[in-house]
Amino acid sequence: MLWLVLDLNFWIVNSVIRLLTGVISFLHSLPSLLSSSAVECWNLTLVCILTAAEGFANAAQGSFHALGSGLHALSGVSESFKMAGHLSSHVLLRTKELVHRGLLSGHSLLRQACEGCGIALSLAIYFVNTVVNMLLIGTQNCLAAVASVWEVVSGPLQKALELALTILTFLYSSLMAVSVLLWTPFKQALEFLGSLGHIFVTVFLLNLYGLLLTLVVVLAVTAIYLNPQLLRSGVQGVLDYISTVPTLHRLQRALYRLYLLALERAQTVLEMGVWQRAVWQGSQTGQGRGAAGGGGRAGGLPEGDLEQRPLGDPAGHAQHTLEQGEVAPPQQLPLGTQPEEDTQDPALLCSSTDRPLQRHNSPAENLLTLLKEHEERKKCVICQDSPKTVLLLPCRHLCLCRDCTDILLRQPQHQHSCPLCRQPIGRSMDVYL
């Protein structure tokens, strides 16, 4: 009995403890269970909603397609029913009229039968036309979709192919240009070195006198390199010998006087050319003004003024210099005197731009001015920077450089004209002065 009570007590206590443990574990896992249940329920709800929405969308889409097809079919059927209704109403009306009039003859019956057959045939033709139109419209839509898809697919491929071809063409042209640009100077250098070597071998090695001259030059250069004082002593000895010989001394003085005479002659000729050109330009300007204003003014200088302008006698002055034996330059003037050319008013002579000529203070300054003007005339008429190197044909004007010519020829065809005479340019030719 005691064992039974103890077993019962142990079983009760164990059951209570297990019950409490289960309750505590249930209470402990209840929040996570509820949260997971809620999440699963929410996921199930979302899945159901998405499935229902997808099914509803598919059903709606199918219903819309079916409805559209049905509407298209119903439109044709309604038209057919409409025509059938019109036909039946017309037949009924005609039958009613014929019954009311009592004109049920064979001829009228045949005519009515023919009319009914014609109307039925028209209805059948209309129905067939509707079906054919629907088929044609569907085929056209399919072909348009296929064409649009092909255009979308082939457009990028075509652009990529064109870009690849353009890149390959550009690379090929660049490589060809670089090869030509690099090979041409190298070829010219090789030809120049070959010609120089051929000339050297022909003149200095294959010829006895050339070989002797080469040996003499080599020995002289070696001696000068080893003893630099030898060259100085040799030059000094030659100069001393020349200074001691009276004939060479007189020849030197005569050559110097001839040089001075030639220089003064050239300066006089240049001055005469400048003044004649100035008078001609002034006369041209005066004629233009006279034509515009009635001939009231004259732009050129009269012949009397030109004749009154003394140009001097450079030959007589040079002869006087030779007789006196002077070595000083002929431009030297006494103190307090001025050349007679400066007494002329430069405002009387005008260039083509109506600007007074600069006063020529001395022949040296006049020569320098003429040289500057000559150098300016060699410059391009457009950029005024590079020299004129391109001859324009057929007008034969040398007035442009190569860069300006290239820029001018890149313009439209109607602008390819000479900047001086406006004559169309046929072709151009490089001129090396």
For 38-60, the pLDDT digits (tens) are: 888 888 888 888 888 888 888 88
Looking at residue 342, its pLDDT comes to: 39
Tell me the C-alpha distance between 363 and 331, whole Å: 7
The Cβ-side half-sphere exposure at 309, using a 13 Å CA radius, reads 18
Contact (Cβ atoms closer than 8 angstroms) between residue 350 and residue 288: no
Phi, psi of 378 (to 5 degrees): -80, -10
Looking at residue 304, its pLDDT comes to: 37
Tell me the C-alpha distance between 387 and 355, whole Å: 25
pTM > 0.75: no
Domains in the chain, ordered, with CATH?
A: 255-327+363-376 (no CATH), 378-433 (3.30.40.10)
Tell me the C-alpha distance between 53 and 48, whole Å: 8
Chain-centroid distance of CA 419 in Å reads 23
Contacts of residue 104, defined as CB under 8 A and 6 or more positions apart, other chains included, come to: 98
For 91-120, the pLDDT digits (tens) are: 888 777 877 776 666 666 788 788 889 898
Which amino acid does the sequence have at 302? P
Tell me the C-alpha distance between 166 and 393, whole Å: 36
Tell me the C-alpha distance between 275 and 351, whole Å: 10
* Four-residue CA torsion sign, 378, 383, 389, 390: negative
Give which of 302, 308, 296, 304 is closest to 279, Cα–Cα: 302
- Number of residues that this document lists for the chain: 433
Residues of the chain scoring pLDDT < 70: 1, 102-108, 204-207, 210, 278-279, 281-364, 433
In the chain, DSSP finds a helix count (H) and a strand count (E) of 9, 3
Q: Give the DSSP H/E element, type plus range, for residue 337.
A: none
Q: Give the DSSP H/E element, type plus range, for residue 428.
A: strand 427-430
Looking at residue 137, its pLDDT comes to: 92
Phi, psi of 360 (to 5 degrees): -90, 105
DSSP summary character for residue 205: I
Contact (Cβ atoms closer than 8 angstroms) between residue 387 and residue 433: yes
Q: What is the DSSP string of 14-56?
A: HHHHHHHHHHHHHHHHHHHHHHHHHHHHHHHHHHHHHHHHHHH
Q: Locate tokens 């007189």: which residue?
A: 250
Looking at residue 132, its pLDDT comes to: 92
310: left (phi over 0), alpha (psi -120 to 50) or beta: beta
